[in-house]
């Protein structure tokens, strides 16, 4: 696979991810939930300062700055690694998974870098675009937009269960976005099929032409 084709995959995923996030940010108030397919697939708008699936690195502005800076370095290194994989002839599947992971990381990085500069804060009112630099946060301090919610199974835990008795159990509970899904898909596929995928493609062995073989035999 060529490097430009891998970059095209990255671009398309980021485009879909950002268009979806912008739609949610400008059409949902914070915490709003809409059913898509019954009760097991919903759009639920939240924002977070942390990592994928709403996990947090550290509370406060310093933790957010550290996390965003780390993402920025990781994404820059990711472009280099993707090019190395292509130049060394790794399999198409490995490169596609690398592109998925890179696209997901870059998609969430864009939120962290710029959303605080270009959007108003979302609360009981729907967010909207503002003049650059007049948003709810500073550069590198934007919040990541999440919206995909799949509570496929929900039921109350029996009272005899330690610590969780009487509480509602939900699977799958985290709210995530398309960038998170791209990262998870790339990582899971690599882990499951690493023996088949993570290898270099062997160059095809060219057989000598029949005329050359005949000449050698005649000598």
CA 140 – CA 114 distance, rounded (Å): 7
Which residues are paired to 112 by β-bridges?
none
How many angstroms from the chain centroid is the CA of residue 133?
26
Instruction: Please list the active-site residues.
Output: 146, 180
Under 8 Å between Cβ of 35 and 129 = no
Phi, psi of 198 (to 5 degrees): -85, 80
CB distance 30 to 45 below 8 Å = yes
The C-alpha atoms of residue 184 and residue 191 are separated, in whole angstroms, by: 11
């Amino acid at each position: 696979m060529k490097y430009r084709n891998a970059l095209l995959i990255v671009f398309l995923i980021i485009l879909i991810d950002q268009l979806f996030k912008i739609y949610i940010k400008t059409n949902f108030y914070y915490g709003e939930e809409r059913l898509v397919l019954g009760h097991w697939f919903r759009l639920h708008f939240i924002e977070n300062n942390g990592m994928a699936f709403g996990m947090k690195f550290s509370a406060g502005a310093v933790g957010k700055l550290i996390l965003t800076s780390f993402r920025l370095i990781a994404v820059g290194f990711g472009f280099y690694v993707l090019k190395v994989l292509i130049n060394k002839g790794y399999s198409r599947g490995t490169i596609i998974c690398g592109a998925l992971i890179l696209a997901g990381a870059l998609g969430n990085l864009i939120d962290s870098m710029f959303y605080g500069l270009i959007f108003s804060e979302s609360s009981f009112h729907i967010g909207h675009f503002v003049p650059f630099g007049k948003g709810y946060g500073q550069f590198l301090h934007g919040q990541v937009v999440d919206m995909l919610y799949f509570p496929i199974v929900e039921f109350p835990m029996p009272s005899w269960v330690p610590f969780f008795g009487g509480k509602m159990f939900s699977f799958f509970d985290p709210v995530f976005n398309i960038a998170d899904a791209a990262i998870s898909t790339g990582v899971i596929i690599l882990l499951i099929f690493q023996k088949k995928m993570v290898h270099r493609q062997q160059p095809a062995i060219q057989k000598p032409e029949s005329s050359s073989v005949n000449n050698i035999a005649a000598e």
